[in-house]
Structure 1
Amino acid sequence: MAKKVVILGAGYAGLVCALELNKLTTAQEAEIILVNKHEYHQLVTQLHEPAVGAKEEKDVTISINSILGAKKIKFVKDVVVSIDKTAKEVTLESGKLSYDYLVIALGSETEYFGIPGLKEYSYTLKSVNQANRIREHIEQCFQTYNQDKKDSKLTFVVGGAGFTGIELVGELADMLPQLAQKYNVPKEKVKLLNVEAAPMILPGFDEGLVAHAKQSLEGRGVKFIIGTPVVQVEPGIVHLKTGDTIPTDTMIWTGGVRGIPIVAESGFETEPRGRAKVDEYMRALGEEDVWIIGDSCFVLSPNGRPYPPTAQISTQMGENAAVNIYASMKHVKKEAFAPVLLGAVASLGRKNAIGSLGKKMKATGWLAYRVKDASKYRYLAKIGALLKSK
């Protein structure tokens, strides 16, 4: 009898897991069920572009049914409510699903670090819908500025200087002057600030690349406030630890992620920020039939630091989970998770980027931008290959 494999979440990790398992198994061996709350897969690595109007929603979403086609994967559009690992059952809003093997790939939610008012009065960028809200809000700020001349309407603050924050800042640096011209707003009134609690931007990048990124963005009007935590947010004002305040109608928070509460609530062991602890095969600690992958889990790299929540890592987690589920079915040796890090490229706007391409090659400016442009779907390359498989 076919084993029932339920995969929760169709982000990079969950989708790759489903497609890889489809490739490895026959219909007699596995019944694969993929659950997702939307009918589409989101290209979350590109959300900074629709957030400023550089792309439309259709450009960063792909229909799940179009990806699955005629493959032996059943897609269920629903919301996960709870997981009962003892009964081996998942409760959805519309019913329940039993499983033999479970994959939890539900992503993450924003970490607000207990900062008063931050959740209530900031925008976040973790979905297409949130990107659309940011774009509409920024457009409205420019549309209405000439009615009351409030400087806070033209002051835009991005909290967090990791990948998401810097790529968003780069897009804003290119877009805001265009909006100023469109709505006949003085360009000199527009302010763009990036606030970061850590002592540097883009952690993990080479210092030379970081310097290039900072210089490029500052040259387009970005002001960096580094080593300075946000301590409170109120309507129209951001408070910094230094005692300084920033009058603004736009606070966009990209400063961290934490695990989805369902994971801890279901009795899986987690670290302090709610991400699941897993073994070397990506299984939940103490579980033989539950895999937790993507942003939902916490995995230490050989240098003792946790792997970052990137699409590159997530897709490899999805592939590894599929291989190990198949190994469990066949009672053969499993493979320890050992990702191959292919480098990283961070966009700095429309025509600039920095890149660390392997161990030795580094690129800035036009070259890195072209690499970024040519490989913007690089994390879906695995999916593309699997789409062609039977």
Structure 2
Amino acid sequence: MTENIVVLGAGYAGAAAIQSLEAEVDNADITWISKEDYHLVLHEVHRCIRDPSVRDKISLPIADIKSPSTRFIKAAVESVDTDDREIDLDDGSTVDYDYLVVGLGSKTAYYGIPGLEENSLTLKGLDDALEIHNQVKDAAREASRNDPAKIVIGGAGLSGIQTAGELAEFRDMHRAPLEIYLVEAMEEIFPGQDPEIQGALRKRLLEADINILTNDPITEAAEDTIYFDEGEPLEYDVFVWTGGITGQDALEEANVEKNHNRVNADATFQTSDERVFALGDSAIVDQLNSERPAPPTAQAAWQAGGVIGENVARAMNGQALTSWSYKDKGTVVSVGDDAVAHNVMMVPIGTFGGPAAKVLKKSIATRWIADVTSVGRAVSAWGDM
């Protein structure tokens, strides 16, 4: 009997999982469900804040990724019924499955901070980046050199730092009257990372004339003012929140072990339901040799998606599953047109910037585009990465 495999989500995990399943699974029908009919190169979406035309380079059509035999459904997932093995979609239809791969990604976490969700923009998709661009452009148009618009980015992790860098490039390119603030609750930017890369990033942010405020959590966000635990309130014209992630509401009723709607999975990607696999930001994937799960990064999702097909095939054939271990190949962060690289595999220098880091950043993005679509599309995107 032909089995039905359903993959949810078209992010890094979902796109890589589709190609892995197509390569590894025989005698199965594969269905791919996503609310968008494209895969977004999310770790480069901040480029659209400066230049919206970049969207054409980082939005990869689903048809260019999947094989013709894989069925695609453009719809948002409303809920997952693991008992009846059904997916409820926002158009009122349902899709049955025999095996399910959850790669729905995450949504922004607001940590119960009053006013934060209502008064901030986010950067979780293409529309978000375009909205930031439009609001910043409008704020700049209404500002002046004597009364510049204040743009605040809450959260100085990867997304926050890269957002700040693009805003600085937009300001300089258009000679826009903007003041940019990067706000972080922890003691240092890029929390939890090596002090060497933290220092290198701080240096570049300050050189880009970005104000950095750390070690003071936001306690409330009003319509035009941010309040802190200790510091003075900060008025703003545009406020972007990049401070954390949580699971999707669509997984709330799924009868699997989860934490804040992020599905718990072991190192084989299998969940507490043997027919449900999870990876990417949707999942908390255990690692055999570490007390910490795999990180919720594009790099980890890319790696995991590339091997999950084998385990789904093994599960279908009643074979033992293999365990996956995340391999950290290094970190590369852009600050506008500059970049900082750290602990890059096979590179003897710990932390470096300059042209080498910039080329490496471009290479990572274009390699992914080439892997899931074509070399021609990757070459076309090179100049905008």
TM-score by length of 1: 0.89
Query: CA offsets per residue over residues 275-320 of structure 1, 9 Å max, x none?
Result: 11112211122x1100111111113444423332111111222233
Looking at structure 2, the residues matched to 355 and 170 of structure 1 have their Cα atoms a distance apart, in angstroms, of 18
Identity of aligned residues (%): 28
- Pairwise CA distance, 1:174: 2.0
Conserved? CA contact 2:25–2:310, under 8 Å: no
Please state if 1:261 is matched with 2:256: no
Partner of 1:347: 334
Looking at structure 2, the residues matched to 331 and 380 of structure 1 have their Cα atoms a distance apart, in angstroms, of 34
Looking at structure 1, the residues matched to 275 and 307 of structure 2 have their Cα atoms a distance apart, in angstroms, of 14
Please state if 1:290 is matched with 2:262: no
Partner of 1:143: 141
- Pairwise CA distance, 1:263: 1.6
Q: 2:82 aligns with which of 61, 80, 85?
A: 85
Looking at structure 1, the residues matched to 146 and 8 of structure 2 have their Cα atoms a distance apart, in angstroms, of 45
Conserved? CA contact 1:353–1:366, under 8 Å: no
Partner of 2:381: none
Partner of 1:242: 230
Query: Pairwise CA RMSD of aligned residues?
Result: 2.1
Conserved? CA contact 2:15–2:65, under 8 Å: no
Looking at structure 1, the residues matched to 293 and 214 of structure 2 have their Cα atoms a distance apart, in angstroms, of 23
- Pairwise CA distance, 1:344: 1.6
Q: 1:46 aligns with which of 44, 62, 71?
A: 44
Looking at structure 2, the residues matched to 106 and 198 of structure 1 have their Cα atoms a distance apart, in angstroms, of 28
Q: 1:299 aligns with which of 261, 270, 285?
A: 285
Partner of 1:96: 94
- Pairwise CA distance, 1:369: 1.3
- Pairwise CA distance, 1:332: 2.0
Partner of 1:57: 55
Mapping 1:89-168, distance limit 5 Å: 89-94=86-91, 95-146=93-144, 151=147, 154-168=149-163
Conserved? CA contact 2:114–2:220, under 8 Å: yes
Looking at structure 2, the residues matched to 66 and 319 of structure 1 have their Cα atoms a distance apart, in angstroms, of 17
Mapping 1:308-327, distance limit 5 Å: 308-327=295-314
Partner of 1:201: 189
The amino acid of 1:137's aligned partner reads Q
Conserved? CA contact 1:41–1:63, under 8 Å: yes
The amino acid of 2:277's aligned partner reads W
Is there any run of 5+ residues in structure 1 with no aligned partner, and where? none
Number of residues of Structure 1 aligned to a counterpart in Structure 2: 371
Looking at structure 2, the residues matched to 113 and 171 of structure 1 have their Cα atoms a distance apart, in angstroms, of 26
The amino acid of 1:323's aligned partner reads E
CA gap of 1:126–1:150, structure 2 versus 1, over 3 A, is farther
Looking at structure 2, the residues matched to 274 and 355 of structure 1 have their Cα atoms a distance apart, in angstroms, of 32
Q: 1:356 aligns with which of 336, 339, 343?
A: 343
- The secondary structure found in structure 2 opposite 1:339 is coil
Is there any run of 5+ residues in structure 2 with no aligned partner, and where? 376-385
Query: CA offsets per residue over residues 59-112 of structure 1, 9 Å max, x none?
Result: 220110122253x21111112111111111111123111111011111110000
CA gap of 1:333–1:278, structure 2 versus 1, over 3 A, is same
